[in-house]
Structure formats: C-alpha cells, structure tokens
Structure 1
C-alpha cells in the first residue's frame, strides 16, 4: 500500500513539473508517512508535512492550471444556455 501512496504523490509532483517547466521540484516523505514538497532536494519545504490527499491537493493547486477541455457539444450547449437567459 505504501508504494501506491508514493506513486500517487509522485504523479502529482510530475504533473506540477510539466505545468511549470521546473524540473527540480522534489518530494520527500517523513517517518510517519506524511509528504512534503521542496523546490529542490535539500531545500526548505514549501509546505508542512501533509497526509497523502492533502499533499496531492496542495501540489495540484500550485503553478498554472491546465485548461479544461470542452467538447463541441458542450460548447454548443453553453451557447444555448447563454441565449435563453432573460
């Protein structure tokens, strides 16, 4: 179970690296299983040690956010909603 936890946390860090273009972000784990993020190995942490879910939310909230993909049908539906408002 610990490897799945680390995989989910490291995947969040990899997404952050892709979004920001900064490849030096580093994740570490405390002895009690909490995670924290640094700008590079050995640098001060950017957050207090967090549980897995909180860590993933924190990391996913950093940097530029990916644009939401919208289908042609969704776009057409949004246009209809705008027209129907009084």
Structure 2
C-alpha cells in the first residue's frame, strides 16, 4: 500500500515539474510516512512534512495552473442551460 501512496505523491510532483518547467523539484518521505517537497535534491524543504492528501493539494497549488479542458459537447450543454430572455 505504501507504493501506491508514494506514486500519488510523485505524480503530483511530476505534474508540477511539467507546469513550472523546473525539473529540480523532489519529493521526500520521512520515517513517519509524511511527505515534503524541495526545489532541488538535498535542498531545504518548501513545506512542513504533510500527510499525502495535504501534500498533493500543496503541490497542485504551486506553479502555473493548466486551464481546464472543455469539449464541444460541454460548450453545447452550457448553451442549453442558459435561459433565453423573453422578447
């Protein structure tokens, strides 16, 4: 089960690397199973050691955010939801 936990955390760090263009971000795990992020290997931590859910939320909030993808069907559905004003 611990492997799945670290995979979720490392995926969040990989997405941050792609968004920010900084390939130096590293994730570390303490002996207690808490996670923290560094800008480079051996660098100072950017956050206090966090549980997995808080760590993933912290990492996802860093760097530039990617715009949410919207399909043609989503746009058409949104148009149908808008009420027409009476003439």
TM-score, shorter chain, exceeding 0.5: yes
TM-score, normalised to structure 2, is 0.88
TM-score, normalised to structure 1, is 0.89
Bigger Rg, which one: 2
> How many pairs does the alignment contain?
86
Unpaired segments of 5 or more residues in structure 1? none
Match of 1:48 in 2: 48
Sort the Cα spacing of 1:79 and 1:43 in 2 relative to 1 into closer, same or farther, 3 A.
same
Alpha-carbon distance between aligned partners in 1 of 2:51 and 2:30, rounded to the nearest angstrom: 10
Match of 2:15 in 1: 15
Aligned residues: CA RMSD: 1.7
Structure whose residues are more often helix by fraction: 1
Deviations 1:23-67 (A, max 9, x none): 000110111000000000111100000000110111011111111
Match of 1:61 in 2: 61
Alpha-carbon distance between aligned partners in 1 of 2:18 and 2:54, rounded to the nearest angstrom: 20
Shift of 1:6: 0.8
Q: Which portions of structure 1, spanning 4 or more consecutive aligned residues, are displaced by more than 4 angstroms?
A: 80-83
Unpaired segments of 5 or more residues in structure 2? none
Alpha-carbon distance between aligned partners in 1 of 2:53 and 2:84, rounded to the nearest angstrom: 40
